[in-house]
Amino acid sequence: MQRFKDKVVIVSGAGSGIGQAAAIRLASEGGTVACFDVNQAGLDETINTINSEGGTAKAWLCDVSNQDAVNNAIQEVVDQYSQLNALCNIAGILRFDHTTDLKLDDWNTIINVNLTGTFLMCQAAIPHLLKTRGSIVNMASTAALGAHAWTAAYSASKGGVFSLTKCLSVEYAKQGINANSVSPASISTPMAKASVLPEGFDQSLLAKIMPFDGPPRPPSKIASVIAFLASEDADHLNGIDIRADGGIMT
């Protein structure tokens, strides 16, 4: 499948986990992938993997919560490749806290990266996506759809991404942009592995987050969904969220 031949795609969070898997998948389908992240070592790994498989990718060290950095990086991508066909906003951060202990600084950081970062990327990319009738794929979470304990900021940020995506899907539908989101659950990534539950947490609330020992859930399970939504195969999908959680919430 070469759904991204002659297409240029930006992937944020491309240095690790789901974003890295998405960048590799999009490149394997012929796309030129602009990889954004704050993790240089992770970006190097992604670019090396793509290059070794014969794909085309370039790294941008870019903090998605920094407006100047985002505007400059997206302009550089368009200057270099002359077009932008899809934007995949995968970068995100997570931490668990009892809500009464959650520091305002941590709340602000999570909202700034997950929600404001997604907004800034969309705002800067939309003028270019309008020229190609391109696609936006945002990363929501089952934490926004169902109840998770200890993730007040994270759940709120992902709920914001969910609503932002729907807003964009209506606002730009007539001009040919489609915007959709993905809501994964418990995918094996560095984020999931590094997450530390708050001290004294109530075990009985854990079932809401990790309810079963099912088959392995590597990031490639979500990369395929992202690639679908970013491709012309999903042209007639707009304003939807694909819950890719292996049935956890069913």
Ligand X SMILES: NC(=O)c1ccc[n+]([C@@H]2O[C@H](COP(=O)([O-])OP(=O)(O)OC[C@H]3O[C@@H](n4cnc5c(N)ncnc54)[C@H](O)[C@@H]3O)[C@@H](O)[C@H]2O)c1
Question: Residue 111, SS3?
Answer: helix
Count of CB atoms situated within 10 Å of the CB of 154: 24
Taking the complex as a whole, the smallest distance from the CB of residue 44 to ligand X amounts, in Å, to 12
Q: Give me the 110-139 binding string for ligand X, x by CB under 6 A, dash otherwise.
A: ---x---x---------------------x
Nearest to residue 37, comparing CAs of 106, 88, 94, 83? 88
Q: Which of 47, 91, 153, 164 touches ligand X (CB under 6 A)?
A: 91
Phi-psi region of 17 (alpha: psi -120 to 50; beta: other; left: phi over 0): left
Q: Is 81 a catalytic residue?
A: no
- DSSP H helices, 29-173, are 40-52, 67-81, 104-110, 117-132, 142-145, 152-171
- Binding to ligand X by CB under 6 A, coded x per residue (else -) over 49-78, reads --------------xxx-------------
The length of the chain in residues reads 250
Considering the complex, state which of residue 133 and residue 166 has its C-beta at the smaller distance from ligand X: 166
- Longest C-alpha distance within the chain, in Å? 53
Taking CB under 6 A as the rule, does residue 42 contact ligand X? yes
CA of 23: how far to CAs of 10, 30, 107, 169, 186, in Å? 8, 11, 28, 23, 20
Q: Which of residues 176-235 bind ligand X (CB under 6 A)?
A: 184-187, 189-192, 219
Q: Which residue has the tokens 């109840």?
A: 147
Q: Which of 24, 28, 32, 39 binds ligand X (CB under 6 A)?
A: 39
Cβ-based nearer residue to ligand X, 13 or 55? 13
Give yes or no for a contact between 3 and 28, defined as CB atoms under 8 angstroms apart: no
Taking CB under 6 A as the criterion, which residues in 143-182 touch ligand X?
Answer: none
Choosing from 154, 185, 209, 242, which is the catalytic residue?
154
Q: Of residues 10, 35, 57, 93, which one binds ligand X by CB under 6 A?
A: 93
| 54 or 207: CB nearest ligand X | 207
Question: Using CB under 6 A as the criterion, which residues of the chain lie in contact with ligand X when the complex forms?
Answer: 12-13, 15-19, 36-39, 42, 63-65, 90-94, 113, 117, 139, 141, 184-187, 189-192, 219
